[in-house]
Structure 1
Amino acid sequence: MRKVCCVIILSFCIAGAFAQNVAVINGRPISNKEFMWFYKKNHSGNASATYQDLEAYLNLYINFKLKVLDARETGLDKDTAYTKEIENYESALRTQKRISKSNAEYSFILNEYREAVLMFNISEKKIWERAQNDENQLRNFYENHKNQYQQSSFDEARGQVIADYQQKMEDEWVIGLRKRYAIKVNQDEVRKLAKL
């Protein structure tokens, strides 16, 4: 009986915690506050959004978080250049008088920077460097998609070929990450956040 009560209580605690999150990725929650802070920041401070707007943005945000998770699992968050950059940024952030360290916005700003640098570093490693430096793969991609380049030669279309190839690699990477990590979206919470 005692074990059953513990399981029931734990289930309610987990459900209650999930109810305050728009999603959980591999056990890491994305809180409503975090998500809406980022949404407003990237939409000129506007928090008024439809369910479809929030759902689309959440999808992008989940992809971002998956890349950050991949960067951490690759060990990029332990890189000395990365840790030094974060220390310098945090030091600069602390000198700003308008944001105190106890302010929730301070945490969001610092976390945003940490994760953006990780996402940039992993994208550079997995996508951008490979697309720039693998001439054979670029030429193969061009040959397989020649009709997209309006009869331009490889050299004439090179910039667009690189961009398209990068997009293809990124799409495949995100698909792989979505298969690799558990993602649970709380649609009810997303609906609650929608204003229209």
Structure 2
Amino acid sequence: MSFVRKVCCIFLLGSLNFLAYAQNVAYVNGKSISSKEFMWVYKKNHGGVANATYADLASYLNLYINFKLKVIDARSMGLDVDTAYKAEINGYERALRAQKKASPKNLEYAYIMNEYREGVLMFNISEQKIWSKAQDNESKLKEFHQANASNYGNKDFDEVRGQVIADYQQSLENQWIKTLRTKYTVKINDDELRHLAKL
């Protein structure tokens, strides 16, 4: 191969890599989040509104990355190969096809199925890591209440039990997200996010 051809090939590959990167808003543990996927989810959760400020998109992307990190954690624990999980996903896919909401060849169908798959994984792992821990461990709840008594106006535990559970769950979630962000790599394409905010 001639020198000019090599240079052209290198330039072309570099351009293709840049275009691929430019079409993604983030990478979570090496897996890309495409701009199309991100905006589909954003619009779906914001009443179909696509016009958003950079701050709005950045804030939502942060939440979406946390969601993706939980899904990665669920997969690392093998929750995606669980028989009950697979049966639930298959049942949902059958129902979706029966309703003829979207064709399996359609991009939206892929997004809907992926959202459901990941949503169930996130629910299942959150049940293990947060909700059951907060509901079933009275001694931990009382410890948390005692350590944060001033937040509850020094009220008795039984008076504020519901709020203590909610706060303890949030505390567990914050610790979990912090651990996940240390464990897995997260890279945000800020230029693409700013570009989407202009659209």
Cα deviation code 1:29-86 (max 9, x no counterpart): 0000000000000000000001110000000000000000100111000110000000
Two-structure CA RMSD over aligned residues (Å): 2.0
Deviation at 1:14, TM superposition (A): 3.2
Corresponding residue of 1:159: 162
Deviation at 1:6, TM superposition (A): 7.7
Corresponding residue of 2:72: 69
Corresponding residue of 2:128: 125
Q: Following the alignment from structure 1 to structure 2, what is the Cα–Cα distance between the partners of residues 126 and 5? A: 51
Q: Does 1:54 align with 2:61?
A: no
- 1:194 is matched by which residue type in structure 2? A
SS at structure 2 position matched to 1:107: helix
Corresponding residue of 1:100: 103
Distance 1:144 1:182, change over 3 A: same
Q: Following the alignment from structure 2 to structure 1, what is the Cα–Cα distance between the partners of residues 61 and 87? A: 30
- 1:27 is matched by which residue type in structure 2? G
| Alignment coverage as a number of residue pairs | 196
Distance 1:6 1:183, change over 3 A: farther
Deviation at 1:158, TM superposition (A): 0.8
Cα deviation code 1:117-144 (max 9, x no counterpart): 0000000000000111111111110000
Structure 2 unmatched runs, 5+: none
Q: Does 1:112 align with 2:93?
A: no
TM-score normalized by structure 1?
0.93
Q: Does 1:80 align with 2:83?
A: yes
Deviation at 1:145, TM superposition (A): 0.3
Deviation at 1:10, TM superposition (A): 5.3
Q: Following the alignment from structure 2 to structure 1, what is the Cα–Cα distance between the partners of residues 25 and 68? A: 13
Q: Following the alignment from structure 2 to structure 1, what is the Cα–Cα distance between the partners of residues 177 and 8? A: 40
Distance 1:103 1:149, change over 3 A: same
Structure 1 unmatched runs, 5+: none
Deviation at 1:19, TM superposition (A): 1.0
Deviation at 1:9, TM superposition (A): 6.0
Corresponding residue of 1:173: 176
Deviation at 1:11, TM superposition (A): 4.7
Distance 1:3 1:144, change over 3 A: farther
Q: Following the alignment from structure 1 to structure 2, what is the Cα–Cα distance between the partners of residues 137 and 3? A: 64
Q: Following the alignment from structure 2 to structure 1, what is the Cα–Cα distance between the partners of residues 22 and 61? A: 16
TM-score normalized by structure 2?
0.92
